DNA sequence: TATTGTTATACTCTATAACTATA
DNA sequence: TATAGTTATAGAGTATAACAATA
C-alpha cells in the first residue's frame, strides 16, 4: 500500500477517522426506525423551514427526479409524508410531513444529533476551542 | 419542528455539519473512479494489512454474506480483486487486490484523504489544538 | 452439527429515456 | 419550447432462506 495520504497525526486523518466512526452508527439508527439511509436523508430534509418541492429535494439529494418519485411513493405509503399541489405553479408538488412523519423525523434527529459520550469528556475550554476551529472549517465549504 | 437536538453553536452540531459537508464529496470521488459507494468501502478495506476473508469483509461492512458475494463478483469482473482459497480452511475464500485494484484503491485513498482547503487556513497552533481534541474524541469510540 | 460461501428471490435505490401536464 | 413530475426499464445494493462444501 502506498503512503500518499497524510500520516496518522494530521488533523485531517483524525477527522476522517471520526467521520467513519460516526458513519457506522447511522445504519443502526436507520434500521431502528425501519428506514433506509436514503429515506433518513429525505425525511431529514423535508419539513425543516419551508415546504420542499420534489425538484428541490432531488437537487439537494443530488439524485435524479425519477428517484425521488419512488422514494416519496414509499414514504407516502407509510404515511410519513404527503404531496401537495403548489398554489403558484400547478406543475410543482410540494412535500409536507404528516404528524406521524414529524414524529419519526424528530426521533431520527434526536438520535442522529446525540453527541457521543467522548464529547462530554472535553473540558469547557476544549469545547470552546473546538467550536471556534470547526466554525473556521465550515466558513467556506 | 421540535428543537430537541443541540443548538447551532454546539460542537457536535458543527461536527455533524462538517461530516455531511465532507460526505457529500464522496459520491463525486466514487463516480470519478466509476465505483459505487459500497465498492469504495470494500476496496478500501481489502488489501490493507492482512488478507481479507469474505466473511470478515461482510462483518466489517455490517452486511449479509450474500451481499458480499455479489459485491466481490462485480469487483472481480472488473479485474480489481481476486478470490483465493485459504490454505488453512478450505471453506474460506480470501480477497486480494490485483495490481489494477491496488492502483484504483490508491487513487481512491488519495482523493478521500485529501484535506479540504479550509484546513490549511488554520494556524499551526489551531491545528495542534484540533489534533489534541480529536485524539481525545477518538480515545474510546 | 456448525460454519463459509453461494444461489434464489424480493425489495430498495439509482439512472436514463420517453411521456404527460403545465408554463 | 422548456420545465416538473411520472412511468418504464435496467442495474446495483441489501436482506432472508435454502443449499453445498467443509470443518
pLDDT at A4: 45
Pick the closest to residue A96 from A73, A76, A74, A113 (CA basis). Answer: A76
pLDDT at A23: 66
Q: A residues 18-57 near B, CB within 8 Å?
A: 18-19, 21-24, 27, 47-48
Q: A residues 71-100 near B, CB within 8 Å?
A: none
Q: Which of residues 51-70 of A touch strand D (CB under 7 A)?
A: 53-56, 58, 65-66, 68-70
Mean pLDDT over all residues of chain B? 86
More confident residue, B120 or B41: B41
Strand C closer than 7 A to residue A93 Cβ? no
* pLDDT over 50 (residue B4): no
Strand C closer than 7 A to residue A91 Cβ? yes
pLDDT at A119: 85
Per-residue pLDDT band for B12 (boundaries 50, 70, 90) equals confident
Which helix or strand (DSSP H or E) is residue A79 part of? Answer: none
Chain B residues closer than 8 Å to A16 by CB: 112-113
* Residues 6 or more apart whose Cβ sits within 8 Å of residue B23: A19, A23
pLDDT at B27: 81
More confident residue, B106 or B15: B106
Phi, psi of A81 (to 5 degrees): -135, 165
pLDDT at B140: 64
Per-residue pLDDT band for B23 (boundaries 50, 70, 90) equals low
* pLDDT over 70 (residue B9): no
pTM: predicted TM-score of the whole model, two decimal places: 0.82
Strand D closer than 7 A to residue A42 Cβ? no
pLDDT tens readout for residues B51-68? 899 999 999 999 999 999
Which of B14, B106, B119 minimises the CB distance to A2? B106
What percent of chain B stands above pLDDT 70?
Answer: 88
Using a 7 Å cut-off to protein CB atoms, list the covered nucleotides of chain D. Answer: 3-9, 12-18, 21-23
Q: Which residues of A19-28 are buried (b: 16+ CB within 10 A; e: fewer)?
A: beebeeebee
pLDDT tens readout for residues B100-120? 999 999 999 888 877 878 888
* pLDDT over 50 (residue B44): yes
Strand C closer than 7 A to residue A27 Cβ? no
Pick the closest to residue B91 from B59, B61, B54, B63 (CA basis). Answer: B54
Which helix or strand (DSSP H or E) is residue A136 part of? Answer: helix A124-137
Residues of chain A with pLDDT under 70: 1-9, 20-23, 49, 140-141
Alpha-carbon span A52 to A94, nearest angstrom: 5
pLDDT at B94: 97
Amino acid at each position: 500500500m502506498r503512503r500518499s495520504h497524510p500520516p496518522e497525526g494530521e488533523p485531517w486523518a483524525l477527522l476522517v477517522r471520526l467521520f467513519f466512526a460516526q458513519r457506522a452508527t447511522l445504519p443502526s439508527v436507520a434500521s431502528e426506525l425501519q428506514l433506509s439511509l436514503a429515506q433518513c436523508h429525505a425525511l431529514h430534509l423535508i419539513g425543516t423551514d419551508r415546504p420542499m418541492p420534489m425538484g428541490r429535494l432531488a437537487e439537494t439529494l443530488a439524485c435524479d427526479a425519477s428517484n425521488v418519485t419512488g422514494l416519496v411513493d414509499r414514504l407516502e405509503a407509510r404515511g410519513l409524508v404527503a404531496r401537495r399541489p403548489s398554489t403558484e405553479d400547478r406543475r410543482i408538488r410540494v412535500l409536507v410531513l404528516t404528524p406521524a412523519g414529524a414524529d419519526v423525523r424528530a426521533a431520527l434527529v434526536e438520535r442522529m444529533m446525540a453527541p457521543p459520550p467522548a464529547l462530554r469528556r472535553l473540558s469547557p475550554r476544549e469545547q470552546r476551542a473546538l467550536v471556534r476551529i470547526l466554525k473556521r472549517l465550515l466558513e467556506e465549504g
